[in-house]
Amino acid sequence: MAILIVAEHDNHTLQAATLSVLTAASEIATHISDTELHLLIIGDECQPVVAMAQGITGLSKILVADHQIHQYPLAENIAPLIVSLVQEQGHCNDEHQEFDKTQYSHIITSAGTTGKDYQPRVAALLDVAQISDIISVESADTFNRPIYAGKAIATVQSSDAIKVLTVRSSAFTAASFTAGSLTTELLAIESQVPVVALAAQADSGKSAFIKAELTQSSRPELTTAKVVISGGRGMKNADNFELLYTLAEQLNAAVGASRAAVDAGFVANDLQIGQTGKIVAPDLYIAVGISGAIQHVAGITGSKVIVAINNDPDAPIFDVADYCLVADLFEVLPELTAVLKAKN
Amino acid sequence: MKILVAVKRVVDHKVNVRVKADETGIETANVKMAINPFCEIAIEQAVRFKEQGSADEVVLVCIGPKEADVQLRAGLALGADRAILIRTDEEVQSLDVAKILHKIVQEELPDLVLLGKQAIDTDNNQTGQMLAALTNMPQGTFASDIAFTVPNTVKVTREVDGGLVTLALSLPAVITVDLRLNIPRYISLPNIMKAKRKVITMTSPDSLGVSLSPRLTTLKVESPPVRQAGVKVADVAELVDKLQQQAKVI
């Protein structure tokens, strides 16, 4: 038996979230005797990703579906590919056994928007349940996951033969690359991980990619940043977010936002942190002008240290913050930036 | 064009939920229930399409207890034409919800199925995708804009991790909606009165030929670890000092 990990990438770089998924998969593997970790890379001209994956410890096999139809991840094309892999492999490896003995016990990916999109489609095609957004592993079939915007943690056991999971990447530390210093050429020689190229599949013909409008940013990625600074309605307008970006510069931080700030048009919606946006768990989270609604707090409670800056002493954010500063953010932000700049 | 909208009855999003003392679940007795906020956005969008002339009929479908007719009436007051309530008092998991909706899709043959991207109680974010798989329809998840352009095609702008992505889907299709799609209208009193005359058809999973087969068992439900109460700092200097000396994060 093996665990199939579906990689998240942009055809050039493996997303850090995949490394956290690998950690979750390894934890599951400790509960099963004699299991392997297989990494599936679906993309178009994604050789750089394959090369990066070669540097990961613990993988037994890398499966690559490199085809033009996967240039943009479409659930209609990805789901049948994963399903065929599960069924075919079962057929090949257990010829003398029943067909329904598949090779894969778990199919696992990160709970980013891509994984959330195709993974339930995979589960339904396999006629199994999916467990979304797991935050810890109890055993091979039992996992913990937050419900009700993180107000409760449910321990869920699956009775399905194949467990289809998505992983909250901020809840697991990222697996390390074995060979950060090795070049791609060296890796190719030293690595023993076999790479299997998968046959091309037909396009579903049901959906087509038209365009992407991606937010350009020089700041670290929100979900993996060590420090995150977020602004809310209290920032008053989009221009004032510059104050946060200047501060973020000093701390090498990512900048996020509350729903109020996104809805008011201060920042793009992919910066939203919370139940319906991104879940972050940085070392330091600084909430500026954010009241701290349940839905926002759902996205930050994994943070090591929370700082809240708000002029309302009764703001609920102060109930979860480690350090509370009741003050006008327009005075505090420039001052904080100046102090940090002086120290740097 | 016929639009089918799936609606879920959930604990109101403003309620501060409490975990039951015996750790079997969430306290739902005497707690305010409401339409799941994402489902409300889906209804609003379907009604807007009807008002724009691109849809002829908006049908709501809900799986839940008898009391869910309150949420369906609210949906009808928003402007939907009729509703179907699949009555069950049992917990219905996402895969079974998708199977039941699949049966309704086979009966109603909608051109478009709209769902919320997730229910705020289970936070699963699965049903729409599972329904798309079972009906072999394309899916547009996390939609913040939906437009019918060429015949039999719908253009969907999706909220993804890096920004926005636009896809073209051939109809019939399943679309799950994100918060940014629209702002649902307030229900007016005349519309509440009108909604009383609209039809809610009752059925059950059994009569649709779906036997519920829950695959997941919730072993326990606990409160998350409580964060330690924090300290107030007087000014920026103290804050920086604490972060450096005490928390050691900068």
Mean pLDDT of A276-286: 96
> Which residues of chain A are within 8 Å of residue B240 when distances are taken between CB atoms?
336, 339-340, 343
The pLDDT of residue A24 is above 90: yes
Q: Answer yes or no: do A211 and B166 touch at CB < 8 A.
A: yes
CA distance, residue A167 to nearest chain B CA (Å):
12
CA distance, residue A191 to nearest chain B CA (Å):
32
Question: At what angle are helices B127-135 and A113-125 packed, to 10 degrees?
Answer: 50
Could you tell me how many CB contacts below 8 A there are between chain A and chain B?
253
Q: Cα–Cα distance between A210 and A112 in angstroms, integer?
A: 21
- Position A180 scores a pLDDT of 46
Residue A343 is given by DSSP the state H
Closest Cα in chain B to A332:
B236
CB B144 within 8 A of CB B181: yes
Q: Is A6 left (phi over 0), alpha (psi -120 to 50) or beta?
A: beta
- Position A188 scores a pLDDT of 54
Are A2-197 and A227-343 in the same CATH fold? yes
pLDDT band at residue A98 using 50, 70 and 90 as cut-offs:
very low
DSSP per position, A1-40: -EEEEE--B-SSSB-HHHHHHHHHHHHHHTTSSS-EEEEE
The pLDDT of residue A333 is above 50: yes
- Position B83 scores a pLDDT of 98
Fold (CATH) for A227-343: Rossmann fold (3.40.50)
Name the 3-class secondary structure at A325.
Answer: strand
Whether the bond between B172 and the residue before it is cis, its omega within 30 degrees of 0, is yes
- CA B131 to mean position of chain CA atoms: 13
Contact map slice: A 275-304 vs B, CB within 8 A: 275-276, 278, 283-284, 294-295, 301, 304
Mean pLDDT of A276-282: 95
**Assigned architecture for domain A2-197:** 3-Layer(aba) Sandwich (3.40)
> Which residues of chain A are within 8 Å of residue B166 when distances are taken between CB atoms?
209-213
Per-residue pLDDT tens over the stretch A26-69: 999 999 999 999 999 999 999 999 999 988 888 999 999 999 99
Residue B189 burial class via C-beta count within 10 angstroms: exposed 0-12, middle 13-18, buried 19 and up: exposed
- CA A71 to mean position of chain CA atoms: 20
Please state the three-class secondary structure of chain B as a single string. CEEEEEECEEECCCCCCCECCCCCCECCCCCCEEECHHHHHHHHHHHHHHHCCCCCEEEEEEEECHHHHHHHHHHHHHCCCEEEEEECCCCCCHHHHHHHHHHHHHHHCCCEEEEECCCCCCCCCCHHHHHHHHHCCCEEEEEEEEEECCCCEEEEEEEECCEEEEEEEECCEEEEECHHHCCCCCCCHHHHHHHHCCCEEEECCCCCCCCCCCCEEEEEEECCCCCCCCEECCCHHHHHHHHHHHCCCC
Closest Cα in chain A to B231:
A323
Residue A261 burial class via C-beta count within 10 angstroms: exposed 0-12, middle 13-18, buried 19 and up: buried
Q: Answer yes or no: do B139 and A332 touch at CB < 8 A.
A: no
Of B128, B215, B249, the CB nearest to A283: B249
Q: Answer yes or no: do A227 and B250 touch at CB < 8 A.
A: yes
The pLDDT of residue A70 is above 80: yes
- Position A95 scores a pLDDT of 47
Extents of the domains making up chain A: 2-197, 227-343
Mean pLDDT of A125-147: 98
Closest Cα to residue A317, out of A286, A287, A292, A289?
A292
Per-residue pLDDT tens over the stretch A214-264: 988 889 999 999 999 999 999 999 999 999 999 999 999 999 999 999 999
For β-strands A2-6 and A104-110, DSSP reports them as parallel
In this prediction, the residues of chain B whose per-residue pLDDT falls under 50 are: none
Q: B215, B227, B235, B243: which to substitute to probe chain A, counting the most A Cβ within 10 Å?
A: B215
Q: Cα–Cα distance between B163 and B114 in angstroms, integer?
A: 22
- Position A102 scores a pLDDT of 66
A71 touches chain B (CB under 8 A): no
Q: Answer yes or no: do A284 and B250 touch at CB < 8 A.
A: yes
Contact map slice: A 220-259 vs B, CB within 8 A: 223, 227, 251, 259
Per the prediction, chain A carries an average pLDDT of 92
A182 touches chain B (CB under 8 A): no
Closest Cα in chain A to B226:
A320
DSSP per position, A42-86: EESS-HHHHHHHTTBTT-SEEEEEE-GGGSS--HHHHHHHHHHHH
Of B117, B129, B163, the CB nearest to A212: B163
The pLDDT of residue A99 is above 60: no
Of B98, B117, B222, the CB nearest to A124: B98
Q: Report the predicted TM-score, pTM, of the whole model to 2 decimal places.
A: 0.94
- Position A183 scores a pLDDT of 52
Residue A242 burial class via C-beta count within 10 angstroms: exposed 0-12, middle 13-18, buried 19 and up: exposed
CB A247 within 8 A of CB A253: yes
